[in-house]
Amino acid sequence: MIDVQRLRVLRAVAEHGSFNQAAGALRLTPSAVSQHVAALERSLGTQVVARSTRGVTLTPAGRIMVGAAESVAAELAHARQQVDRLGTGRSRLTVATFTSGGRLLLPGALGRLTAAHPDTVLHVREGEPEDSLPLVRQGAVDLALAYRFDGPLPGGQGPHSGLQWTALLEDPLHVVLPAGHPLAGREALDLAELAAEPWVLGCLKTEAYLRRYAERAGFAPQVRGTTTDYFFARSLVAAGMGITLVPSIALTPHVPGLHIVPIAPPVPTRHIGIATIGRRRDHPPLTTLVHALREQAAALNEG
């Protein structure tokens, strides 16, 4: 029998990368953390972490067990919700979302949810995918509206990730130029044509994405500023600081004095979708919200 507390400790070790930091988070001593991990390894008959002077890393068996730990945490959170519902007669639903996707997709979908399940207690929290997806796996969040670029989901998506991904939208990025820019009248732009331009970006992940595409185009972008808000980045472009790269759904509200130009293929694209725990789809309000988000996305695709 695998001890649930030992799984919890292993998950903390994986999150923090050391016994000492995991001990602080769990309010245990480092010795107690080490003993829990060693006991788990004895029960499994294999190592779950590789120890070194630089800290600890998960072995393949450890990664499997961390996935199991997150599934157990999610199931316990779900069971607690069901017990609470027995006592109150009301369901709870917690949704995490990144800003631009939530602004575009959530209001209409939440309206349908509250109409169909008026007794559901709803909570919405803002968060980037690297923050919200672990919360889905742990059961602290029922659904995350998230995105990825051309790689996997943050934290992975696979048989041991615990996540089920439902694709919603393809969200291509566009170049935003200031009024009067010589390239503003073009129907599309190759990134190589922008090699000499200064850039102001609205997201750290967009900067990393731009650098990968720019490297393929043969240049290193001159990044003059990075913000956490696409609207602010576009305002800086309008002020003459440079140009920017913005996903389609973040091109509103309108900022005067700007020109938006598509990028020629290959087009950098965000892939927007829903992350849930597959076994949680028996939760009626969650099922309703998933369907509502898919309908919202389909309407945008048709538009």
Q: Look at the domain 72-169+271-302 and name its fold.
A: D-Maltodextrin-Binding Protein; domain 2 (3.40.190)
- pLDDT tens across 149-182, in order? 876 676 554 444 568 899 999 999 999 999 999 9
pTM over 0.85: no
List Cβ neighbours of 276 (8 Å cut-off, separation of 6 or more). 136, 142, 143, 144, 163, 164, 166, 286, 290
Alpha helix ranges (H) inside the chain = 4-16, 19-26, 30-44, 60-88, 99-116, 129-138, 204-217, 230-238, 284-302
Residues 2-14, mean pLDDT to the nearest whole number: 87
- pLDDT tens across 94-107, in order? 999 999 999 999 99
Q: Which two tokens stand for residue 5?
A: 């507390």
Backbone angles phi, psi at 6, to 5 degrees: -65, -35
Proportion of the chain above pLDDT 70, given as a percent: 90
Mean pLDDT of all residues belonging to the chain: 88
Q: Look at the domain 4-66 and name its fold.
A: Arc Repressor Mutant, subunit A (1.10.10)
Specify the domain boundaries for CATH 1.10.10.10 within the chain.
4-66
What's residue 161's pLDDT? 55
Are 133 and 176 spatial neighbours (Cβ–Cβ below 8 Å)? Answer: no
Which of 42-51, 207-216, 274-283 shows the lowest mean pLDDT across its residues? 274-283
What's residue 160's pLDDT? 41
SS3 category, 183: coil
What's residue 87's pLDDT? 60
More confident residue, 177 or 21: 177
d(CA 160, CA 137): 10
What's residue 14's pLDDT? 86
Superfamily of domain 170-269: Periplasmic binding protein-like II (3.40.190.10)
Burial class of residue 222, CB neighbours in 10 A (0-12, 13-18, 19+): exposed
- pLDDT tens across 123-136, in order? 999 999 988 988 88
More confident residue, 261 or 279: 261
Specify the domain boundaries for CATH 3.40.190.10 within the chain.
72-169+271-302, 170-269
List Cβ neighbours of 264 (8 Å cut-off, separation of 6 or more). 188, 189, 190
Q: Which two tokens stand for residue 207?
A: 């900067």
